[in-house]
Amino acid sequence: MVIVEYSRAGRSSVSEDGRLRAEDLPLGRVIELGDHHVTREEIISFATQWDPQSFHVDEVFARETVFGDVIGSGLHTMAVFQRLAVAGAYRHWAVVAGRAIREVSLTSPLRPDTTVHATLTVDSVVPHSEQRALVSKTGRVMDGDGLLMTIHVDSYVLRRA
């Protein structure tokens, strides 16, 4: 992704370190974050370490559930989103720190051997101090069948001097 793609005409949108400031984030525009292919092995490995519930790690048990197979943990879906958000947007922004995960909706399960796609929309940029602004965003993770997750997150991003 090219940093200047986000800039607004007539403004110096890139900070000294090459990252975008809060005022120059693309308010209201959908940012495509890219794709990630989720394998069965990845689902089981992630869940074994972080959410070892039977329907995530036990293929025999999972076949007998309503899902018919292992499914990825909601935490796994969030982790995939975060990875794509960092690679596709946040690494280009002057992010100070995360502030809040306000809401997460898991509308469909993360299934094995599926390619997911994520997007991010900047909902608001509110000055918090002279140095930083609170940036509210909505992220979405989808597969070929539809929406898997919606997440509303806030973070602090440096402002222009």
pLDDT in tens, 6-42: 444 334 455 567 899 999 999 999 999 999 999 999 9
Mean pLDDT of 58-79: 95
Number of Cβ within 10 Å of residue 143's Cβ equals 17
Q: List helix spans (H) across 17-69.
A: 40-50, 54-57, 59-63
Q: What is the mean pLDDT of residues 87-104?
A: 96
pLDDT for position 39:
98
Q: How far apart are CA 28 and CA 26, in angstroms?
A: 6
Domain boundaries, the chain: 22-158
pLDDT band of 2, cuts 50, 70, 90: very low
Helix (H, G, I), strand (E, B) or coil at 97: strand
Average pLDDT, the chain: 91
Is a pLDDT exceeding 70 seen at residue 5? no
Nearest to 108 by CA among 63, 143, 79: 143
Tokens coding 50: 């972080």
Task: Tell me what pLDDT residue 15 has.
Answer: 59
Model-level pTM? Answer: 0.88
Query: Is the Cβ–Cβ distance between 100 and 123 less than 8 Å?
Result: no
The CA-based angle 142-126-103, given to 5 degrees, is: 35
3-state DSSP call for residue 21? coil
What would the CATH number be for the domain defined by 22-158?
3.10.129.10
- The pLDDT tens digits of the residues spanning 47-56 come to 999 999 999 9
Q: What is the mean pLDDT of residues 65-92?
A: 96
